[in-house]
Amino acid sequence: MSETPLLDTVNVPADLREFDPNQLKQLADELRSETIDVVSQIGGHLGASLGVVELTVALHHVFNTPDDRLIWDVSHQAYPHKILTGRRDRIRTLRQGGGLSGFTKRTESEYDPFGAAHSSTSISAGLGMAVARDLDGGSRKIVSVIGDGAMSAGMAYEAMNNAGSMDSRLIVILNDNDMSIAPAVGAMSAYLSRLISSKPYRSIRHFAMEMASKFPRRLEVTAVRAEEYARGILTGGTLFEELGFFYVGPIDGHNLGHLLPVLKNLRDSEQDGPVLLHIVTEKGHGYEPAENAADRYHGVSKFDVVTGEQNKPTPNAPSYTGVFAESLIKQAEKDDKIVAVTAAMPSGTGLDKFGKVFPERTFDVGIAEQHAVTFGAGLATEGYRPFVAIYSTFLQRGYDQIVHDVAIQKLPVRFAIDRAGLVGADGATHAGSYDINYLASLPDFVVMAAADEAELVHMVATAAEIDDRPSSFRYPRGEGAGVEMPEMGVPLEIGKGRIIREGTAVAILSFGTRLSEVLLAAEELAARGLTATVADARFCKPLDEDLAVRLAKEHEVLITIEEGAIGGFAAHVMQCLAAKGVMDGGLKIRPMILPDVFFDHDKPELQYQLAGLRTADIVATALGALGLEDEAGAEQGGAHRPARA
């Protein structure tokens, strides 16, 4: 007998619209069990998904999706949504090559009206859809679900400020899992929310406001303020009211008896303007190991459903993130001006470790990368040495601040760029493909890439010493190469690379962690009687021009390799060689970069195989350039092959 008999009857949301409240409660329980089972087998974002099970059921029951638009902010909580929207048969392919995305994706389903993975975009997108609906004379409902963490980003407030000044009807659901709500307060709040969202209340309120408008101006304003602030004191909604939203809540987001009537009232309302429904939920709700975990099982590997124990492989080498954290701690122990800044990712960036040692010198500014960058700039103006640790993909969000607030003023803010290169299961939205390009184009910016974990230690020390301009160092997700580690980092000479091995047939200039693949390629070439010079550039900017020129002049073929998009390290090398006339003599230069496509989720090793940046691809590129193998037939298909759909 099936453990999910009711869920088995639901292929699309229309199938659950006739369910009664008891059936919806059973469906939510089955959906929670299914979600736990799925993630236990494949890993992924569990806690956030468990926190919105009841909300997901209620939304698809009340609203006519996909015609009504349902937008999940970040969308790492959308696993239950995917199960209910025709994707259950593929849900165990989640985050795997050729399978479902871990986030909402427009090309994947008509039930995903907006793709996401970065936070705080749902209100802006929803408002755009609402305005488009109004311009078309339509009547569909637009619902944006955003978490309290995502509400810490300025973009959410920019969107709310804009929405509050317009008449377009938009429903924003604030999913607050950072507060608790007592049972008695929850019941009272649910009653008030039903009352406030109902037509009779709005009619009475409208009548009262009309009457107040007949009074002298002073009394009218007083009446309006009294009503708004009275509700604000009860519900905490004054801020949203000030932004122009009609506030309802908070209500228990796990209680369908509270959720359903309020959502139906909001659906049926003919009132203009935006409304915000405040619900309170618990990450990991309904699964005790997740409820008791510090991170509520935000992102997990495969695990045992009974015990909750995760199946994490034993690492062979320290992680780059861990090496960065330990190195920064050591630097900070001898320099009390070193401070660390992160944007809501203390554990992801390793700064939780730094924070345990130096709590007063650690600053988590929330999901606010723009603020994090300029906050770091402010610290730098006062003689502090800020290390701003942000993933490559998220640092993109603060680019204007990097240019205007840091680079133009030559402020020594140090950017520790985690998740550089391809990132596996999180796919295109989280890939660190562009930071080389967007930082190395800025004057006086020091741009480094660690070839291994030992080099990362030295680059942390180097950045700490750079006090006259901004700097960055990038490193990938995952384990290091297993090299011997220095006890303490030694500052590198700025703009100087290093020769790893000498050869005569080809020169390979590596920038970043492809160096290990390059060395293996050099061994394979040597086995064919072709010796290769291998160099680690260390710096894209300032580029070691002497090294680049020497490699170009002394070899028939120069190969550059990097884990970045077109326009990055290779472009700087070729610009240097062209300007110096080195390419006029017939030099064969072969840039190996990430292909000009967005890479979908897959295992990292398969992504790099598709990208054409593995040992076999380097060997094939060298042989092809030397005319020893047909270059068109070389296995460097990543330069031409699109990412797997």
Among residues 169, 283, 296, 541, the one annotated as catalytic is: 283
The three-class DSSP label of residue 226 is helix
Nearest to 101 by CA among 602, 642, 478: 602
β pairing state of 446-449 and 414-418? unpaired
Which tokens is 202 given?
A: 């709005």
The three-class DSSP label of residue 115 is coil
Spell 89-98 as b/e; 16+ CB within 10 A means b.
eebeebbbbe
Which tokens is 228 given?
A: 């708004």
Which tokens is 429 given?
A: 């939205």
Among residues 95, 141, 353, 397, the one annotated as catalytic is: 397
- Alpha helices per DSSP H over 466-510: none
Element of type H or E holding 232:
helix 217-235
Distances (CA, A) of 335 to 186, 339, 382, 385, 470: 50, 9, 15, 9, 18
Let me know how many helices (H) and strands (E) the chain has, helices first: 25, 17
Among residues 369, 517, 562, 563, the one annotated as catalytic is: 369
Count other Cβ atoms within 10 Å, centred on residue 288: 9
Judge whether 180 and 252 are in contact, CB under 8 Å.
no
**Longest Cα pair distance anywhere in the chain, in angstroms?**
96
Q: Which residue has the tokens 């701690």?
A: 329
Q: Which residues contact 422 (CB under 8 A, 6 or more apart)?
A: 431, 432, 433, 563, 594, 599, 604, 607, 608, 611
Residue 283 catalytic? yes
The three-class DSSP label of residue 417 is strand
The three-class DSSP label of residue 421 is strand
User: Whole-angstrom Cα distance, residue 455 to residue 418?
Assistant: 14
Nearest to 173 by CA among 143, 139, 213: 143
The three-class DSSP label of residue 239 is helix
Which tokens is 432 given?
A: 């660190």
The three-class DSSP label of residue 121 is coil
Which tokens is 405 given?
A: 């607030």
- Alpha helices per DSSP H over 441-555: 453-465, 515-527, 545-554
Provide the CB-side half-sphere exposure for 533 (13 A, CA). 24
Catalytic amino acids?
Answer: 283, 369, 397
